[in-house]
Amino acid sequence: MARPSEQFTCQSCGETYRKWQGRCDSCGEWNSLLESTADVAVPSGLTTGKGRNLTFTALNADISDYKRSISHIGELDRVLGGGFVPGSSILIGGDPGIGKSTLLLQAVAKMALAGAPCIYISGEEATQQISMRAQRLGLADAPVQLASANSIRDIITSVDTARPAPKLLVIDSIQTVFADNLPSAPGTVAQVRASAQELIRLARKTGTSVILVGHVTKDGQIAGPRVLEHMVDTVLYFEGDRGHQFRILRAVKNRFGATDEIGVFEMSDAGLKEVANPSSLFISSPDKTISGASVFAGMEGTRPLLVEIQGLVAATAQATPRRAVVGWDNARLAMILAVLDTRCDLSFSGSEVYLNVAGGLRVQEPAADLAVAAALVSSISDIPVPPGSLFFGEIGLSGEVRPVGQTDARLKEAAKLGFTTAIIPTGSKVKSGSMKIIEIEHLREIVSLFSETKPMTRAV
Ligand code: TYD
Ligand code: MG
């Protein structure tokens, strides 16, 4: 039996075990248990000693000098809910090479240029490497205080004594810093948790906003420090497809703003650029007349985003035809194929089905159902979707098409980009606008839209 002082900690979720086992029961990760020394048990009777009296305040306390500082990168500020809240802690996760360091370097440089004292500490790169990048990005003149360090003790001391107190502190990355009084190696749960705790405490004390960069494991979770997500105020994910230029900054937790907000950037040779009109990234041309492509008017947070959905139905002699999906849910595609088969007598059983969301975006809204169905029906019938048209709506198992939220925002964005026809669920609350609206009650109507003998022409 293991000695009582020993325990095994899952490096993925932080769960502890008395004995080693191959798979963590809590998060299902394999081979993630590492031996660590147990936390010292809290002696009972701790609560009997006398503590300090707390000072209570009212909810309407004076917060006039508690102002957010803005990063001057509009997309980042919006995702944060309007800039950095003083004393807040932010965790930013993302795949290696996605551009976290670049984004944060640009943010600190812009803030520093605007007069806010900022500190950037890298545990991964030498200061020369960061300077090199800054010079290439044309940010070398920004008065950022730069250091390369790993010891949490040194970091805390330097930041705490820095005058004037920094508005923003970037730690790149939390996995590289370590506390020398802990026996475990840097990057382990114990180290990451201890270091983060120190930094969060420092942030609250000095009013500095702290950004912690966290690496992400292969399954997309912030490695080890999933425990960190509970400790920090805000969790952001920086995502994107390596093969594509655009990057999306997404808030998954935010104590000071909305969580479904996104920021869109484009990686260029001059660093990350904000994309003011992201819809144009994800649709080719509204007038394209190829069968199998439809445009979905989606929402990402409060922001409408138009994306092209491409479907390809190809005949095959194989007994189990392939179904492949990029950027959408596999199970949802299977559901829509089943509904088309059962409720609309349109069989895909002898065909391979491919579905692709153009531009490398991942669509998660069920509202994309109708656009997916349109792309598939268009492909199987080889009739292009009516030019200038877009789709949104959720499909139920009986084939009924259900209204989705934010109809107006979706339509407005589409109109702005030159779309003229909206094919949407019956009962959608359309306020006004010049768009031609075709209301759909059942998926069958989508099928009959494509069963005309000649391709539909632009509706005017
Ligand atoms: P980086 O910020 O180092 O990623 P992370 O910190 O998330 O690991 O970004 C590195 C990638 O970005 C690298 O593949 C090169 C690319 N990049 C550009 O394309 N243009 C640029 O101006 C910069 C600085 C990086
Ligand atoms: Mg980096």
pLDDT digits (tens, 9 = 90+) for 4-13: 567 888 887 7
Q: Is a pLDDT exceeding 80 seen at residue 221?
A: no
For 50-68, b where at least 16 C-beta lie within 10 A, e where not — what string? Answer: eeeeeeeeeeeeeeeeeeb
The residue among 285 and 82 whose pLDDT is bigger is 82
Ligand 1 atom having least distance to the Cα of 172: 6
Which ligand is nearest to the Cα of residue 98, counting in written order?
A: 1
Q: How far apart are CA 227 and CA 215, in angstroms?
A: 13
pLDDT confidence of residue 40:
54
Lowest model confidence (mean pLDDT) among 33-37, 252-256, 377-381, 438-442: 33-37
Q: Give 99 Cα–ligand 1 centroid separation in angstroms.
A: 5
**For atom 11 of ligand 1, which residue has the closest CA?**
97
For 296-326, b where at least 16 C-beta lie within 10 A, e where not — what string? Answer: bbbbbbebbbbbbbbbbbeeeeeeebeeebe
Ligand 1 atom having least distance to the Cα of 98: 7
Q: How far apart are CA 250 and CA 295, in angstroms?
A: 23
pLDDT confidence of residue 63:
76
Q: Is a pLDDT exceeding 70 seen at residue 33?
A: yes
Averaged pLDDT for residues 201-208: 94
pLDDT tier for residue 447 given thresholds of 50, 70 and 90: very high
Q: Give 412 Cα–ligand 1 centroid separation in angstroms.
A: 34
Residues 122, 148 contacting (CB under 8 angstroms): yes
- Alpha-carbon dihedral angle through residues 79, 82, 88, 90, given to the nearest 10 degrees: 10
pLDDT confidence of residue 157:
95
Residues ≥6 apart with Cβ < 8 Å to 276:
none
Residues 421, 436 contacting (CB under 8 angstroms): yes
The residue among 185 and 325 whose pLDDT is bigger is 325
Residue showing tokens 């370097």: 105
Concatenate the DSSP letters of all residues of 270-284 into one string.
TEEEE-S-THHHH--
pLDDT confidence of residue 454:
46
Which ligand is nearest to the Cα of residue 242, counting in written order?
A: 1
Q: What is the pTM of this model?
A: 0.77
Q: How far apart are CA 186 and CA 196, in angstroms?
A: 12
pLDDT confidence of residue 453:
46
**For atom 15 of ligand 1, which residue has the closest CA?**
97
Coil, strand or helix at 203: helix
Sign of CA dihedral 110, 112, 116, 121: positive
Ligand 1 atom having least distance to the Cα of 103: 2
Q: Measured from the CB, is residue 102 less than 6 Å from ligand 1? A: yes
Q: How far apart are CA 381 and CA 384, in angstroms?
A: 9
Lowest model confidence (mean pLDDT) among 39-53, 86-100, 104-118, 432-446: 39-53
Q: Give 301 Cα–ligand 2 centroid separation in angstroms.
A: 27
Q: How far apart are CA 326 and CA 364, in angstroms?
A: 12
pLDDT confidence of residue 183:
85
Residue showing tokens 């000695």: 3
Which ligand is nearest to the Cα of residue 176, counting in written order?
A: 2
**What percent of the chain is modeled with pLDDT above 70?**
91
Q: How far apart are CA 36 and CA 48, in angstroms?
A: 30
The residue among 111 and 359 whose pLDDT is bigger is 111
Q: Is a pLDDT exceeding 90 seen at residue 418?
A: no
Q: Give 334 Cα–ligand 2 centroid separation in angstroms.
A: 38
Task: Determine the distance from the C-alpha atom of residue 181 to the mean position of all C-alpha atoms in its chain, rounded to a whole number.
Answer: 35
**Average per-residue pLDDT in the chain?**
87
Q: Is a pLDDT exceeding 70 seen at residue 247?
A: yes
Ligand 1 pocket mutation, candidates 248, 267, 269, 273, criterion most atoms within 8 A of CB: 267
Q: Measured from the CB, is residue 99 less than 6 Å from ligand 1? A: yes
Q: Is a pLDDT exceeding 60 seen at residue 223?
A: no
Averaged pLDDT for residues 112-134: 94
136, 285, 366 from 404: Cα distances, Å: 46, 25, 9
Residues ≥6 apart with Cβ < 8 Å to 131:
140, 146
Q: Is a pLDDT exceeding 80 seen at residue 374?
A: yes
Q: Is a pLDDT exceeding 50 seen at residue 330?
A: yes
**For atom 25 of ligand 1, which residue has the closest CA?**
271
Residues 343, 443 contacting (CB under 8 angstroms): yes
pLDDT confidence of residue 459:
40
**What percent of the chain is modeled with pLDDT above 90?**
56
Nearest 5°: phi and psi at 186?
-55, 145
Q: Give 127 Cα–ligand 2 centroid separation in angstroms.
A: 13
Averaged pLDDT for residues 293-306: 88
Ligand 1 pocket mutation, candidates 76, 102, 212, 247, criterion most atoms within 8 A of CB: 102
HSE value, Cβ hemisphere, 13 Å, CA-based, for 11: 20
Ligand 1 atom having least distance to the Cα of 124: 6
Q: Measured from the CB, is residue 94 less than 6 Å from ligand 1? A: yes
Task: Determine the distance from the C-alpha atom of residue 86 to the mean position of all C-alpha atoms in its chain, rounded to a whole number.
Answer: 23
pLDDT confidence of residue 225:
53
Q: Measured from the CB, is residue 267 less than 6 Å from ligand 1? A: yes
Averaged pLDDT for residues 234-241: 89
HSE value, Cβ hemisphere, 13 Å, CA-based, for 336: 30
37, 68, 87, 284, 371 from 288: Cα distances, Å: 63, 45, 50, 8, 16
pLDDT tier for residue 338 given thresholds of 50, 70 and 90: very high
Q: Measured from the CB, is residue 138 less than 6 Å from ligand 1? A: no
Q: How far apart are CA 52 and CA 119, in angstroms?
A: 34
Q: Measured from the CB, is residue 97 less than 6 Å from ligand 1? A: yes
Which ligand is nearest to the Cα of residue 132, counting in written order?
A: 1
